[in-house]
Copies of this chain bind each other. A is one copy, B any other.
Protein backbone atom coordinates (compact mmCIF):
# COMPACT_ATOMS: atom_id res chain seq x y z
CA UNK A 1 0.00 0.00 0.00
CA UNK A 2 2.60 2.55 0.96
CA UNK A 3 5.02 0.93 -1.40
CA UNK A 4 4.63 -1.70 -4.08
CA UNK A 5 6.17 -4.38 -1.90
CA UNK A 6 3.31 -4.19 0.54
CA UNK A 7 0.62 -6.81 0.32
CA UNK A 8 -2.73 -6.16 -1.31
CA UNK A 9 -5.10 -4.20 0.92
CA UNK A 10 -8.34 -5.97 1.69
CA UNK A 11 -11.50 -3.99 2.33
CA UNK A 12 -13.28 -6.91 3.93
CA UNK A 13 -13.62 -7.47 7.62
CA UNK A 14 -16.26 -8.36 10.21
CA UNK A 15 -16.90 -7.56 13.89
CA UNK A 16 -15.13 -10.67 15.13
CA UNK A 17 -12.02 -9.52 13.28
CA UNK A 18 -12.14 -5.85 14.36
CA UNK A 19 -9.00 -4.65 16.05
CA UNK A 20 -9.92 -1.03 16.59
CA UNK A 21 -13.67 -0.83 17.11
CA UNK A 22 -16.24 -2.55 19.30
CA UNK A 23 -19.76 -2.86 18.00
CA UNK A 24 -22.32 -3.56 20.71
CA UNK A 25 -26.03 -3.82 20.09
CA UNK A 26 -28.32 -3.12 23.03
CA UNK A 27 -31.93 -3.28 21.93
CA UNK A 28 -32.46 -0.47 19.45
CA UNK A 29 -29.15 1.21 20.24
CA UNK A 30 -25.82 0.41 18.65
CA UNK A 31 -22.72 1.50 20.49
CA UNK A 32 -19.69 1.86 18.27
CA UNK A 33 -16.58 2.40 20.36
CA UNK A 34 -13.17 3.33 19.08
CA UNK A 35 -10.22 1.72 20.79
CA UNK A 36 -7.39 1.83 18.30
CA UNK A 37 -4.57 -0.63 18.90
CA UNK A 38 -1.49 1.40 18.18
CA UNK A 39 0.60 -1.43 16.79
CA UNK A 40 -2.08 -2.89 14.53
CA UNK A 41 -1.24 -0.70 11.56
CA UNK A 42 -1.72 -1.37 7.89
CA UNK A 43 1.91 -0.49 7.14
CA UNK A 44 5.17 0.00 8.96
CA UNK A 45 6.63 3.23 10.19
CA UNK A 46 3.99 4.64 12.50
CA UNK A 47 2.01 3.89 15.64
CA UNK A 48 -1.68 4.66 15.98
CA UNK A 49 -1.48 6.62 19.21
CA UNK A 50 -4.38 8.51 20.80
CA UNK A 51 -7.04 6.81 18.72
CA UNK A 52 -5.53 8.14 15.53
CA UNK A 53 -6.41 6.13 12.47
CA UNK A 54 -5.11 4.71 9.23
CA UNK A 55 -7.07 3.13 6.41
CA UNK A 56 -7.35 -0.14 8.34
CA UNK A 57 -9.26 1.59 11.13
CA UNK A 58 -11.62 3.20 8.68
CA UNK A 59 -12.29 -0.03 6.83
CA UNK A 60 -13.61 -1.41 10.11
CA UNK A 61 -15.77 1.66 10.68
CA UNK A 62 -17.24 1.41 7.19
CA UNK A 63 -17.95 -2.28 7.78
CA UNK A 64 -19.62 -1.59 11.12
CA UNK A 65 -22.00 0.97 9.62
CA UNK A 66 -22.84 -1.40 6.79
CA UNK A 67 -23.53 -4.22 9.27
CA UNK A 68 -25.79 -2.11 11.44
CA UNK A 69 -27.90 -1.40 8.37
CA UNK A 70 -28.17 -5.00 7.20
CA UNK A 71 -27.67 -7.12 10.28
CA UNK A 72 -29.37 -4.91 12.87
CA UNK A 73 -32.39 -3.19 11.35
CA UNK A 74 -33.82 -2.99 14.86
CA UNK A 75 -31.26 -0.29 15.67
CA UNK A 76 -32.59 3.26 15.54
CA UNK A 77 -29.72 5.13 17.21
CA UNK A 78 -25.97 4.72 16.87
CA UNK A 79 -23.65 6.16 19.50
CA UNK A 80 -20.08 6.68 18.37
CA UNK A 81 -17.67 7.04 21.25
CA UNK A 82 -14.22 6.06 22.45
CA UNK A 83 -12.91 3.60 25.02
CA UNK A 84 -9.77 5.64 25.63
CA UNK A 85 -9.77 8.01 28.58
CA UNK A 86 -9.82 11.75 27.77
CA UNK A 87 -9.49 11.22 24.03
CA UNK A 88 -12.20 10.60 21.49
CA UNK A 89 -10.07 10.51 18.37
CA UNK A 90 -6.98 12.36 17.18
CA UNK A 91 -7.82 12.00 13.49
CA UNK A 92 -5.80 10.53 10.67
CA UNK A 93 -2.35 9.49 11.84
CA UNK A 94 0.10 12.16 10.82
CA UNK A 95 3.14 9.92 10.53
CA UNK A 96 1.12 7.61 8.30
CA UNK A 97 0.27 10.61 6.09
CA UNK A 98 3.85 11.83 6.19
CA UNK A 99 5.19 8.50 4.94
CA UNK A 100 2.46 7.82 2.36
CA UNK A 101 2.64 8.47 -1.35
CA UNK A 102 0.53 11.26 -2.78
CA UNK A 103 -1.72 8.74 -4.51
CA UNK A 104 -2.25 6.81 -1.32
CA UNK A 105 -3.13 9.93 0.67
CA UNK A 106 -5.70 10.87 -1.95
CA UNK A 107 -7.27 7.42 -1.96
CA UNK A 108 -7.24 7.26 1.81
CA UNK A 109 -9.11 10.57 2.06
CA UNK A 110 -11.61 9.49 -0.57
CA UNK A 111 -12.46 6.30 1.29
CA UNK A 112 -12.80 8.05 4.66
CA UNK A 113 -15.03 10.63 2.99
CA UNK A 114 -17.20 7.87 1.59
CA UNK A 115 -17.47 6.34 5.04
CA UNK A 116 -18.64 9.67 6.54
CA UNK A 117 -21.11 10.12 3.67
CA UNK A 118 -22.39 6.58 4.34
CA UNK A 119 -23.23 7.66 7.90
CA UNK A 120 -25.19 10.60 6.54
CA UNK A 121 -26.84 8.39 3.93
CA UNK A 122 -28.05 6.07 6.70
CA UNK A 123 -29.33 9.01 8.71
CA UNK A 124 -31.11 10.63 5.75
CA UNK A 125 -32.64 7.59 4.13
CA UNK A 126 -32.97 4.99 6.86
CA UNK A 127 -33.64 7.39 9.70
CA UNK A 128 -31.05 6.07 12.14
CA UNK A 129 -29.75 8.85 14.39
CA UNK A 130 -26.00 9.07 14.88
CA UNK A 131 -24.76 10.59 18.11
CA UNK A 132 -21.12 11.49 18.57
CA UNK A 133 -20.45 11.09 22.29
CA UNK A 134 -17.12 12.86 22.64
CA UNK A 135 -15.82 11.63 25.98
CA UNK A 136 -12.54 13.40 25.24
CA UNK A 137 -10.84 15.59 22.69
CA UNK A 138 -11.84 15.20 19.05
CA UNK A 139 -9.26 16.75 16.80
CA UNK A 140 -8.89 16.82 13.04
CA UNK A 141 -10.41 13.72 11.53
CA UNK A 142 -11.81 12.96 14.99
CA UNK A 143 -13.97 16.06 14.85
CA UNK A 144 -14.73 15.38 11.18
CA UNK A 145 -16.15 12.00 12.19
CA UNK A 146 -18.25 13.81 14.78
CA UNK A 147 -19.72 16.32 12.32
CA UNK A 148 -20.76 13.49 10.04
CA UNK A 149 -23.10 12.49 12.90
CA UNK A 150 -26.49 14.08 13.56
CA UNK A 151 -25.63 15.35 17.02
CA UNK A 152 -22.40 16.03 18.87
CA UNK A 153 -21.96 16.10 22.63
CA UNK A 154 -18.67 16.93 24.32
CA UNK A 155 -17.53 16.17 27.84
CA UNK A 156 -16.89 19.32 29.86
CA UNK A 157 -13.84 18.29 31.87
CA UNK A 158 -11.89 21.52 31.60
CA UNK A 159 -9.65 19.93 29.02
CA UNK A 160 -11.50 18.23 26.20
CA UNK A 161 -11.99 20.23 23.03
CA UNK A 162 -13.00 19.92 19.42
CA UNK A 163 -10.47 21.16 16.90
CA UNK A 164 -9.37 21.20 13.29
CA UNK A 165 -5.64 21.79 13.74
CA UNK A 166 -4.59 20.79 10.20
CA UNK A 167 -3.98 24.29 8.87
CA UNK A 168 -1.98 25.62 11.84
CA UNK A 169 -0.11 22.41 12.70
CA UNK A 170 0.32 20.55 9.44
CA UNK A 171 -0.06 23.02 6.62
CA UNK A 172 -2.79 20.93 5.00
CA UNK A 173 -6.60 20.99 5.07
CA UNK A 174 -8.89 18.88 7.18
CA UNK A 175 -9.25 16.25 4.47
CA UNK A 176 -12.47 14.53 5.35
CA UNK A 177 -15.12 17.10 4.64
CA UNK A 178 -14.49 19.16 7.77
CA UNK A 179 -14.41 22.62 6.25
CA UNK A 180 -17.42 21.97 4.06
CA UNK A 181 -19.55 20.46 6.83
CA UNK A 182 -18.54 23.32 9.13
CA UNK A 183 -20.11 25.99 6.95
CA UNK A 184 -22.60 23.96 4.91
CA UNK A 185 -23.99 21.38 7.31
CA UNK A 186 -23.63 23.07 10.67
CA UNK A 187 -23.72 26.50 8.99
CA UNK A 188 -21.10 27.91 11.30
CA UNK A 189 -20.50 31.57 10.47
CA UNK A 190 -17.56 31.80 8.09
CA UNK A 191 -15.53 34.17 10.27
CA UNK A 192 -15.95 31.83 13.22
CA UNK A 193 -15.11 28.87 11.00
CA UNK A 194 -11.98 30.76 9.97
CA UNK A 195 -10.94 31.31 13.59
CA UNK A 196 -11.75 27.74 14.59
CA UNK A 197 -9.85 26.24 11.66
CA UNK A 198 -6.70 28.18 12.49
CA UNK A 199 -6.78 27.51 16.22
CA UNK A 200 -4.58 24.50 16.95
CA UNK A 201 -6.02 23.92 20.41
CA UNK A 202 -9.64 24.16 19.30
CA UNK A 203 -12.59 25.15 21.44
CA UNK A 204 -14.06 23.66 24.60
CA UNK A 205 -17.65 23.10 25.67
CA UNK A 206 -19.23 26.51 26.20
CA UNK A 207 -17.75 28.36 23.27
CA UNK A 208 -17.93 25.31 21.00
CA UNK A 209 -21.67 25.20 21.71
CA UNK A 210 -22.08 28.95 21.25
CA UNK A 211 -20.37 28.77 17.87
CA UNK A 212 -22.46 25.82 16.74
CA UNK A 213 -19.59 23.30 16.67
CA UNK A 214 -21.33 20.93 19.07
CA UNK A 215 -24.89 20.47 20.26
CA UNK A 216 -24.23 20.26 23.98
CA UNK A 217 -21.70 19.58 26.71
CA UNK A 218 -21.97 17.79 30.03
CA UNK A 219 -19.66 17.51 33.04
CA UNK A 220 -17.71 14.28 33.34
CA UNK A 221 -19.84 12.99 36.18
CA UNK A 222 -23.04 13.39 34.15
CA UNK A 223 -21.70 12.63 30.69
CA UNK A 224 -22.81 9.03 30.37
CA UNK A 225 -26.26 9.54 31.82
CA UNK A 226 -26.83 12.64 29.70
CA UNK A 227 -25.89 10.75 26.54
CA UNK A 228 -28.12 7.88 27.59
CA UNK A 229 -30.99 10.27 28.20
CA UNK A 230 -30.56 11.92 24.82
CA UNK A 231 -30.36 8.54 23.11
CA UNK A 232 -33.57 7.55 24.84
CA UNK A 233 -35.29 10.60 23.40
CA UNK A 234 -34.05 9.83 19.91
CA UNK A 235 -34.56 6.08 19.95
CA UNK A 236 -37.40 5.03 17.71
CA UNK A 237 -40.01 2.51 18.67
CA UNK A 238 -38.14 -0.76 18.79
CA UNK A 239 -39.04 -2.92 15.83
CA UNK A 240 -39.05 -6.65 15.63
CA UNK A 241 -37.17 -6.57 12.33
CA UNK A 242 -34.57 -9.27 12.17
CA UNK A 243 -31.45 -8.69 10.12
CA UNK A 244 -29.64 -10.80 7.58
CA UNK A 245 -26.05 -11.94 7.74
CA UNK A 246 -23.43 -10.33 5.52
CA UNK A 247 -21.06 -13.14 4.71
CA UNK A 248 -17.60 -12.44 3.35
CA UNK A 249 -17.49 -11.59 -0.32
CA UNK A 250 -15.75 -14.52 -2.03
CA UNK A 251 -13.44 -14.33 -4.98
CA UNK A 252 -10.68 -16.18 -6.72
CA UNK A 253 -7.54 -14.39 -7.79
CA UNK A 254 -5.24 -15.19 -10.64
CA UNK A 255 -2.22 -13.25 -11.80
CA UNK A 256 -4.40 -11.06 -13.96
CA UNK A 257 -7.85 -11.74 -12.67
CA UNK A 258 -10.13 -11.43 -9.70
CA UNK A 259 -13.31 -13.40 -10.14
CA UNK A 260 -16.32 -13.13 -7.88
CA UNK A 261 -19.54 -15.02 -8.45
CA UNK A 262 -21.16 -12.30 -10.56
CA UNK A 263 -18.32 -9.85 -11.11
CA UNK A 264 -15.24 -10.73 -13.15
CA UNK A 265 -12.21 -8.54 -13.30
CA UNK A 266 -9.54 -9.07 -15.93
CA UNK A 267 -6.44 -6.95 -15.66
CA UNK A 268 -4.66 -6.06 -18.88
CA UNK A 269 -1.73 -4.59 -17.03
CA UNK A 270 0.51 -4.16 -20.01
CA UNK A 271 -2.11 -1.97 -21.67
CA UNK A 272 -3.17 -0.37 -18.38
CA UNK A 273 -6.86 -1.22 -18.58
CA UNK A 274 -9.21 -3.67 -16.97
CA UNK A 275 -12.26 -5.55 -18.22
CA UNK A 276 -15.00 -5.61 -15.66
CA UNK A 277 -17.94 -7.87 -16.44
CA UNK A 278 -21.10 -8.19 -14.39
CA UNK A 279 -23.30 -11.22 -14.86
CA UNK A 280 -27.07 -11.10 -14.68
CA UNK A 281 -28.77 -13.37 -12.17
CA UNK A 282 -29.70 -16.79 -13.41
CA UNK A 283 -32.80 -18.84 -12.90
CA UNK A 284 -35.96 -17.90 -11.05
CA UNK A 285 -35.65 -14.92 -8.74
CA UNK A 286 -37.73 -14.11 -5.66
CA UNK A 287 -40.64 -11.72 -6.07
CA UNK A 288 -41.94 -11.23 -2.53
CA UNK A 289 -40.22 -9.53 0.39
CA UNK A 290 -40.25 -12.77 2.34
CA UNK A 291 -38.54 -14.70 -0.43
CA UNK A 292 -35.98 -11.91 -0.82
CA UNK A 293 -35.27 -11.85 2.89
CA UNK A 294 -34.90 -15.61 2.83
CA UNK A 295 -32.11 -15.31 0.27
CA UNK A 296 -30.30 -12.70 2.37
CA UNK A 297 -26.92 -11.66 1.08
CA UNK A 298 -27.10 -14.22 -1.73
CA UNK A 299 -29.83 -12.16 -3.42
CA UNK A 300 -28.31 -10.96 -6.67
CA UNK A 301 -28.70 -7.16 -6.24
CA UNK A 302 -26.97 -7.35 -2.89
CA UNK A 303 -24.30 -9.89 -3.77
CA UNK A 304 -23.42 -8.52 -7.21
CA UNK A 305 -23.17 -4.92 -5.96
CA UNK A 306 -21.13 -5.93 -2.90
CA UNK A 307 -18.78 -7.68 -5.30
CA UNK A 308 -18.70 -4.64 -7.56
CA UNK A 309 -17.91 -2.42 -4.57
CA UNK A 310 -15.02 -4.63 -3.56
CA UNK A 311 -13.73 -4.70 -7.13
CA UNK A 312 -13.81 -0.90 -7.38
CA UNK A 313 -11.95 -0.44 -4.10
CA UNK A 314 -9.42 -3.05 -5.17
CA UNK A 315 -8.84 -1.26 -8.46
CA UNK A 316 -8.45 2.10 -6.74
CA UNK A 317 -5.96 1.14 -4.09
CA UNK A 318 -4.21 -1.98 -5.34
CA UNK A 319 -4.12 -1.35 -9.09
CA UNK A 320 -3.06 2.29 -9.51
CA UNK A 321 -1.62 1.66 -12.97
CA UNK A 322 -4.98 0.63 -14.38
CA UNK A 323 -6.31 3.84 -15.89
CA UNK A 324 -9.37 2.61 -17.74
CA UNK A 325 -12.11 0.13 -16.94
CA UNK A 326 -14.21 -1.34 -19.75
CA UNK A 327 -17.56 -2.36 -18.30
CA UNK A 328 -19.55 -5.17 -19.81
CA UNK A 329 -22.66 -7.01 -18.72
CA UNK A 330 -23.59 -10.60 -19.56
CA UNK A 331 -26.83 -12.48 -19.36
CA UNK A 332 -30.51 -12.23 -19.96
CA UNK A 333 -31.84 -8.68 -19.73
CA UNK A 334 -35.23 -10.05 -18.73
CA UNK A 335 -33.74 -11.44 -15.55
CA UNK A 336 -32.35 -8.01 -14.65
CA UNK A 337 -35.68 -6.39 -15.43
CA UNK A 338 -37.41 -8.92 -13.17
CA UNK A 339 -35.05 -7.94 -10.35
CA UNK A 340 -35.92 -4.28 -10.80
CA UNK A 341 -39.63 -5.11 -10.74
CA UNK A 342 -39.23 -6.98 -7.45
CA UNK A 343 -37.14 -4.19 -5.91
CA UNK A 344 -39.73 -1.60 -6.93
CA UNK A 345 -42.67 -3.70 -5.78
CA UNK A 346 -41.15 -4.32 -2.36
CA UNK A 347 -39.47 -0.98 -1.74
CA UNK A 348 -41.35 -0.52 1.53
CA UNK A 349 -39.58 -3.47 3.10
CA UNK A 350 -36.56 -2.43 5.14
CA UNK A 351 -34.29 -5.03 3.55
CA UNK A 352 -35.18 -4.06 0.00
CA UNK A 353 -34.73 -0.40 0.91
CA UNK A 354 -31.24 -1.13 2.25
CA UNK A 355 -30.37 -3.19 -0.83
CA UNK A 356 -31.34 -0.33 -3.14
CA UNK A 357 -29.56 2.27 -1.02
CA UNK A 358 -26.44 0.11 -1.11
CA UNK A 359 -26.65 -0.18 -4.90
CA UNK A 360 -26.91 3.62 -5.05
CA UNK A 361 -23.81 3.99 -2.86
CA UNK A 362 -21.80 1.55 -4.97
CA UNK A 363 -22.78 3.43 -8.13
CA UNK A 364 -21.68 6.69 -6.49
CA UNK A 365 -18.39 5.00 -5.58
CA UNK A 366 -17.99 4.35 -9.29
CA UNK A 367 -18.81 7.99 -10.16
CA UNK A 368 -16.06 9.05 -7.76
CA UNK A 369 -13.43 6.59 -8.90
CA UNK A 370 -10.47 8.29 -10.55
CA UNK A 371 -10.33 5.95 -13.52
CA UNK A 372 -11.94 6.26 -16.91
CA UNK A 373 -14.94 4.03 -17.60
CA UNK A 374 -16.12 2.89 -21.02
CA UNK A 375 -19.32 0.85 -21.28
CA UNK A 376 -19.15 -1.79 -24.02
CA UNK A 377 -22.52 -3.04 -25.29
CA UNK A 378 -22.36 -6.23 -27.33
CA UNK A 379 -24.65 -9.16 -28.16
CA UNK A 380 -25.38 -11.08 -24.98
CA UNK A 381 -25.11 -8.01 -22.81
CA UNK A 382 -27.84 -6.90 -20.41
CA UNK A 383 -27.52 -3.17 -19.73
CA UNK A 384 -31.04 -3.03 -18.39
CA UNK A 385 -32.50 -1.14 -15.43
CA UNK A 386 -30.02 -1.07 -12.56
CA UNK A 387 -27.21 -2.32 -14.82
CA UNK A 388 -27.96 0.47 -17.29
CA UNK A 389 -26.72 2.83 -14.56
CA UNK A 390 -23.23 1.43 -15.21
CA UNK A 391 -23.48 2.65 -18.78
CA UNK A 392 -24.85 6.01 -17.74
CA UNK A 393 -22.09 6.35 -15.14
CA UNK A 394 -19.42 5.64 -17.73
CA UNK A 395 -17.48 8.41 -19.40
CA UNK A 396 -18.49 6.97 -22.77
CA UNK A 397 -20.37 4.04 -24.21
CA UNK A 398 -19.86 1.97 -27.35
CA UNK A 399 -22.83 -0.06 -28.61
CA UNK A 400 -22.48 -2.47 -31.50
CA UNK A 401 -24.85 -1.55 -34.30
CA UNK A 402 -26.48 -4.94 -34.58
CA UNK A 403 -30.09 -5.96 -34.35
CA UNK A 404 -29.37 -8.42 -31.55
CA UNK A 405 -28.18 -5.71 -29.19
CA UNK A 406 -30.41 -3.64 -26.98
CA UNK A 407 -30.53 -1.73 -23.74
CA UNK A 408 -33.53 -1.20 -21.49
CA UNK A 409 -34.80 1.22 -18.87
CA UNK A 410 -36.95 0.57 -15.81
CA UNK A 411 -38.55 2.82 -13.26
CA UNK A 412 -35.46 2.26 -11.10
CA UNK A 413 -33.53 4.53 -13.50
CA UNK A 414 -35.92 7.35 -12.66
CA UNK A 415 -34.94 7.94 -9.06
CA UNK A 416 -33.63 4.95 -7.10
CA UNK A 417 -29.94 5.66 -7.70
CA UNK A 418 -29.20 9.38 -7.28
CA UNK A 419 -25.73 10.68 -8.01
CA UNK A 420 -23.87 12.79 -5.45
CA UNK A 421 -25.34 15.91 -7.06
CA UNK A 422 -28.85 14.73 -6.23
CA UNK A 423 -29.83 14.08 -9.86
CA UNK A 424 -30.43 10.73 -11.47
CA UNK A 425 -27.88 9.79 -14.12
CA UNK A 426 -30.65 10.20 -16.72
CA UNK A 427 -31.34 13.74 -15.52
CA UNK A 428 -27.63 14.56 -15.60
CA UNK A 429 -27.45 13.18 -19.12
CA UNK A 430 -30.35 15.21 -20.44
CA UNK A 431 -29.73 18.51 -18.69
CA UNK A 432 -30.02 20.24 -22.06
CA UNK A 433 -33.19 18.44 -23.08
CA UNK A 434 -35.21 17.44 -20.01
CA UNK A 435 -38.15 16.69 -22.32
CA UNK A 436 -36.17 13.68 -23.56
CA UNK A 437 -36.84 12.03 -20.21
CA UNK A 438 -40.48 11.59 -21.22
CA UNK A 439 -39.38 9.68 -24.29
CA UNK A 440 -36.87 7.58 -22.36
CA UNK A 441 -39.44 6.69 -19.74
CA UNK A 442 -42.32 6.29 -22.19
CA UNK A 443 -44.11 3.09 -23.13
CA UNK A 444 -41.18 1.70 -25.01
CA UNK A 445 -38.72 0.27 -22.49
CA UNK A 446 -36.18 -1.43 -24.69
CA UNK A 447 -34.08 0.22 -27.38
CA UNK A 448 -31.96 -1.21 -30.15
CA UNK A 449 -28.72 0.47 -31.12
CA UNK A 450 -30.17 2.94 -33.57
CA UNK A 451 -32.96 3.91 -31.23
CA UNK A 452 -30.51 4.27 -28.35
CA UNK A 453 -28.28 6.49 -30.44
CA UNK A 454 -31.18 8.56 -31.67
CA UNK A 455 -32.39 9.06 -28.11
CA UNK A 456 -28.93 10.06 -26.95
CA UNK A 457 -28.48 7.15 -24.56
CA UNK A 458 -25.14 6.03 -25.96
CA UNK A 459 -22.05 7.72 -27.33
CA UNK A 460 -20.97 5.66 -30.32
CA UNK A 461 -22.61 2.96 -32.43
CA UNK A 462 -19.97 1.38 -34.67
CA UNK A 463 -21.03 -1.41 -36.94
CA UNK A 464 -19.55 -4.87 -37.06
CA UNK A 465 -16.84 -3.90 -39.53
CA UNK A 466 -15.43 -1.10 -37.40
CA UNK A 467 -16.22 -2.47 -33.96
CA UNK A 468 -12.98 -4.15 -32.95
CA UNK A 469 -10.73 -1.45 -34.33
CA UNK A 470 -12.74 1.33 -32.83
CA UNK A 471 -12.70 -0.20 -29.35
CA UNK A 472 -9.01 -1.01 -29.59
CA UNK A 473 -8.08 2.49 -30.71
CA UNK A 474 -10.31 4.09 -28.07
CA UNK A 475 -8.60 2.06 -25.36
CA UNK A 476 -5.13 2.86 -26.67
CA UNK A 477 -5.88 6.54 -26.92
CA UNK A 478 -7.42 6.80 -23.50
CA UNK A 479 -4.63 5.00 -21.72
CA UNK A 480 -2.02 7.14 -23.45
CA UNK A 481 -3.30 10.41 -21.92
CA UNK A 482 -2.01 12.07 -18.78
CA UNK A 483 -3.69 10.28 -15.88
CA UNK A 484 -3.76 13.49 -13.84
CA UNK A 485 -5.43 15.55 -16.54
CA UNK A 486 -8.00 12.77 -16.98
CA UNK A 487 -8.79 12.75 -13.27
CA UNK A 488 -9.40 16.50 -13.25
CA UNK A 489 -11.36 16.39 -16.48
CA UNK A 490 -13.60 13.55 -15.37
CA UNK A 491 -14.23 15.17 -11.98
CA UNK A 492 -15.41 18.26 -13.88
CA UNK A 493 -17.53 16.60 -16.57
CA UNK A 494 -19.22 13.94 -14.46
CA UNK A 495 -21.02 16.38 -12.18
CA UNK A 496 -22.88 18.97 -14.22
CA UNK A 497 -25.86 20.75 -12.75
CA UNK A 498 -26.57 21.31 -9.08
CA UNK A 499 -24.09 20.85 -6.28
CA UNK A 500 -24.63 19.29 -2.88
CA UNK A 501 -22.53 19.01 0.23
CA UNK A 502 -21.23 15.70 -1.12
CA UNK A 503 -20.15 17.11 -4.47
CA UNK A 504 -18.57 20.08 -2.71
CA UNK A 505 -16.57 17.68 -0.56
CA UNK A 506 -15.43 15.47 -3.43
CA UNK A 507 -15.07 18.18 -6.07
CA UNK A 508 -13.98 21.34 -4.33
CA UNK A 509 -12.47 20.41 -0.99
CA UNK A 510 -10.74 17.29 -2.29
CA UNK A 511 -9.21 19.14 -5.21
CA UNK A 512 -7.79 21.83 -2.94
CA UNK A 513 -6.51 19.20 -0.55
CA UNK A 514 -4.90 17.26 -3.38
CA UNK A 515 -3.19 20.46 -4.49
CA UNK A 516 -1.93 21.19 -0.99
CA UNK A 517 -0.87 17.57 -0.50
CA UNK A 518 1.66 18.17 -3.23
CA UNK A 519 2.99 21.54 -2.18
CA UNK A 520 6.51 21.78 -0.78
CA UNK A 521 5.04 23.77 2.12
CA UNK A 522 3.29 20.59 3.22
CA UNK A 523 5.30 17.65 1.92
CA UNK A 524 8.66 19.15 0.97
CA UNK A 525 11.75 18.61 3.04
CA UNK A 526 10.90 21.70 5.07
CA UNK A 527 7.14 21.23 4.84
CA UNK A 528 4.87 21.24 7.86
CA UNK A 529 3.59 17.69 7.38
CA UNK A 530 7.10 16.36 6.93
CA UNK A 531 8.41 18.08 10.01
CA UNK A 532 5.51 17.45 12.36
CA UNK A 533 6.70 15.94 15.62
CA UNK A 534 10.33 16.32 14.68
CA UNK A 535 12.80 18.61 16.39
CA UNK A 536 13.11 20.49 13.10
CA UNK A 537 10.61 23.23 12.31
CA UNK A 538 8.69 23.79 9.11
CA UNK A 539 9.89 26.60 6.90
CA UNK A 540 7.47 28.04 4.38
CA UNK A 541 7.82 29.69 1.05
CA UNK A 542 5.38 32.45 1.88
CA UNK A 543 4.40 33.30 -1.67
CA UNK A 544 0.62 33.24 -1.94
CA UNK A 545 -0.82 31.31 -4.84
Q: Which of A186, A194, A540 has the most CB of B within 10 A?
A: A194
**Alpha-carbon distance A145/B496, docked complex (angstroms):** 20
Report whether A103 and B493 are in contact in the complex, using a CB–CB cutoff of 8 Å. no
Please indicate the chain B residues that have their CB under 8 angstroms from the CB of A540 in the complex.
482-483
A27 CB to closest chain B CB (Å) equals 34
* In the assembled complex, A465 has its CB within 8 A of some CB on chain B: no
Which of B191, B485, B486 is the one whose CB lies under 8 Å from A397?
A: B191
Report whether B179 and A483 are in contact in the complex, using a CB–CB cutoff of 8 Å. no
Report whether B504 and A321 are in contact in the complex, using a CB–CB cutoff of 8 Å. no
**Alpha-carbon distance A397/B190, docked complex (angstroms):** 11
Known contacts A167-B482, A396-B195, A544-B323; A497 and B184 CB within 8 A of each other: yes
Kindly report which residue of chain B lies nearest to residue A528, judged by CB atoms. Answer: B482
Report whether B499 and A179 are in contact in the complex, using a CB–CB cutoff of 8 Å. no
Report whether B395 and A194 are in contact in the complex, using a CB–CB cutoff of 8 Å. yes
* In the assembled complex, A491 has its CB within 8 A of some CB on chain B: yes
Report whether B168 and A496 are in contact in the complex, using a CB–CB cutoff of 8 Å. no
Pick out which of these stretches binds chain B: A147-155, A345-353, A427-435: A427-435
Please indicate the chain B residues that have their CB under 8 angstroms from the CB of A170 in the complex.
485
Report whether A492 and B179 are in contact in the complex, using a CB–CB cutoff of 8 Å. yes
A189 CB to closest chain B CB (Å) equals 6
Report whether A483 and B542 are in contact in the complex, using a CB–CB cutoff of 8 Å. yes
Report whether A482 and B522 are in contact in the complex, using a CB–CB cutoff of 8 Å. yes
* In the assembled complex, A19 has its CB within 8 A of some CB on chain B: no
A226 CB to closest chain B CB (Å) equals 24
Report whether A396 and B102 are in contact in the complex, using a CB–CB cutoff of 8 Å. no
Please indicate the chain B residues that have their CB under 8 angstroms from the CB of A96 in the complex.
none
What mask results when residues 174 to 211 of chain A are scored 1 for a CB within 8 Å of chain B, else 0? 00000110111011111111110110000000000000
* In the assembled complex, A173 has its CB within 8 A of some CB on chain B: yes
Report whether B492 and A508 are in contact in the complex, using a CB–CB cutoff of 8 Å. yes
Report whether B179 and A456 are in contact in the complex, using a CB–CB cutoff of 8 Å. no
Q: Which of A179, A272, A321 has the most CB of B within 10 A?
A: A179
A291 CB to closest chain B CB (Å) equals 38
Which of chain A's residues 480-514 have a Cβ closer than 8 Å to chain B?
A: 481-494, 496-499, 504, 507-509, 511-514
A2 CB to closest chain B CB (Å) equals 13
A463 CB to closest chain B CB (Å) equals 18
Please indicate the chain B residues that have their CB under 8 angstroms from the CB of A102 in the complex.
545
A1 CB to closest chain B CB (Å) equals 13
* In the assembled complex, A462 has its CB within 8 A of some CB on chain B: no
Report whether A172 and B485 are in contact in the complex, using a CB–CB cutoff of 8 Å. yes
What mask results when residues 240 to 266 of chain A are scored 1 for a CB within 8 Å of chain B, else 0? 000000000000000000000000000
Q: Which of A322, A496, A521 has the most CB of B within 10 A?
A: A496
Report whether A272 and B512 are in contact in the complex, using a CB–CB cutoff of 8 Å. no
Report whether B488 and A173 are in contact in the complex, using a CB–CB cutoff of 8 Å. yes
A530 CB to closest chain B CB (Å) equals 12
Report whether B488 and A499 are in contact in the complex, using a CB–CB cutoff of 8 Å. no
A175 CB to closest chain B CB (Å) equals 10
Please indicate the chain B residues that have their CB under 8 angstroms from the CB of A492 in the complex.
173, 179-180, 183, 508-509, 512
* In the assembled complex, A289 has its CB within 8 A of some CB on chain B: no
What mask results when residues 315 to 349 of chain A are scored 1 for a CB within 8 Å of chain B, else 0? 00000111100000000000000000000000000
* In the assembled complex, A519 has its CB within 8 A of some CB on chain B: yes
**Alpha-carbon distance A483/B486, docked complex (angstroms):** 27
* In the assembled complex, A412 has its CB within 8 A of some CB on chain B: no
A221 CB to closest chain B CB (Å) equals 31
Please indicate the chain B residues that have their CB under 8 angstroms from the CB of A191 in the complex.
394-397, 429, 458-459
**Alpha-carbon distance A456/B396, docked complex (angstroms):** 49
**Alpha-carbon distance A314/B183, docked complex (angstroms):** 30
A106 CB to closest chain B CB (Å) equals 5
Kindly report which residue of chain B lies nearest to residue A506, judged by CB atoms. Answer: B508
Report whether A484 and B179 are in contact in the complex, using a CB–CB cutoff of 8 Å. no
Name 18 A/B residue pairs within 8 A (Cβ), A-sorted: A172-B482, A173-B488, A180-B492, A183-B496, A184-B496, A189-B432, A190-B494, A194-B395, A195-B459, A212-B432, A323-B542, A482-B528, A484-B522, A487-B544, A488-B512, A488-B515, A499-B504, A515-B518
Extra A-B contacts (19), CB below 8 Å, given A171-B485, A179-B492, A191-B397? A103-B545, A107-B545, A170-B485, A171-B481, A189-B432, A191-B395, A191-B458, A194-B459, A198-B489, A321-B542, A323-B544, A486-B544, A487-B512, A487-B545, A488-B515, A491-B508, A498-B499, A511-B514, A511-B515
